[in-house]
Amino acid sequence: MAKTEKYTDESVISLKWNQHIRLRPGMYIGKLGDGSSPDDGIYVLIKEIIDNSIDECIMGFGDKIEINITNHRVHIRDYGRGIPLGKVKDCVSKINTGAKYDSKVFKKTVGLNGVGAKAVNALSSSFSVQSFRDGRTKKVEFEKGNVKLDVKEEDSQELNGTEIIFTPDTDIFGDYHYIIEYIEKLVWNYVYLNKGIKIYLNDVVYFSENGLLDLLNKNIDEEILYPIIHIIDGEFECAITHSEKHSYEDYYSFVNGQYTREGGTHLNAFKEAYVKTIREFYNKDYDASDVRTAIIAAISVKIQEPVFESQTKTKLGSTHIEAEGQTVKSYVTEIIKRTLDNYLHKNPATAESIQKKIVQAEKERKELYNIRKVARESAKKASIHNKKLRDCRVHYDSNHEQRLNSTLFITEGNSASGSITKSREVNTQAVFSLKGKPLNCFGLTKKTVYENEEFNLLQNALNIDDGLEGLRYNNVVIATDADVDGMHIRLLMLTFFMQFYPELIKAGHVYLLQTPLFRIRKKDKNIYCYSEDERLKALVKLGKDSEITRFKGLGEISPDEFKAFIGPSMRLEPVILRKDDSIKEILTYFMGKNTPSRQVFIIDNLRYDIAQL
Distance of CA 444 to the CA centre of its chain: 28
Q: What local confidence, expressed as pLDDT, does residue 80 receive?
A: 94
Is residue 121 in some structural domain? Answer: yes
pLDDT score at 311: 56
Q: Are residues 259 and 123 in the same domain?
A: no
Question: Residue 172 domain-assigned?
Answer: yes
The Cα–Cα gap between 550 and 539 comes to 14
Same domain assignment for residues 565 and 488? yes
Condensed to tens digits (0 to 9), the pLDDT of residues 374-420 reads 888 877 776 655 668 899 999 988 877 788 889 999 998 777 788 88
- Rounded CA-CA distance 549/527 in Å is 11
Same domain, 156 and 255: no
The CA distance from 542 to 544, in Å, is: 7
- CATH code for the domain in which residue 488 is found: 3.40.50.670
| Residues 195 and 231 both lie in one domain | no
Question: Is 318 in the same domain as 333?
Answer: yes
pLDDT number for residue 370: 86
User: Do 316 and 395 reside in the same domain of the chain?
Assistant: no
CATH number of domain containing 304? 3.30.230.10
Q: Which CATH number goes with the domain that contains 23?
A: 3.30.565.10
Task: Provide the residue type at 248 as one letter.
Answer: Y
Q: In 3-state terms, what secondary structure has residue 439?
A: coil
Q: Is residue 138 part of a domain?
A: yes
Q: Which domain holds residue 460?
A: 386-515+552-581
> Do 356 and 316 belong together in one domain?
yes
Q: Which DSSP letter does residue 96 get?
A: T
Residue 237, beta-bridge partner list: 232, 300
From the list 572, 411, 421, the residue with the least C-alpha distance to 489 is: 411
User: Is residue 603, in this structure, part of any structural domain at all?
Assistant: no
- Whether 169 and 117 map to the same domain: the answer is yes
Residue 292's nearest CA partner among 242, 336, 334 is: 242
Residue 8 located in a structural domain = no
Question: Residue 607 has what pLDDT?
Answer: 46
344-352 contacts, C-beta under 8 A, 24 or more apart:
344/281, 347/226, 349/226, 350/226, 350/227, 350/229, 351/281
Q: Report the domain count for the chain.
A: 4
Whether residues 508 and 405 share a domain: the answer is: yes
Residues 345 and 283 in one domain: yes
What residues in the chain have per-residue pLDDT under 70? 1-5, 96-114, 308, 310-313, 317-325, 382-387, 579-581, 594-595, 597-613
d(CA 534, CA 497): 31
Q: In the prediction, which pLDDT does 612 show?
A: 40
Together in a domain, 180 and 310: no
Asked if residue 28 and residue 165 are part of one domain, the reply reads yes
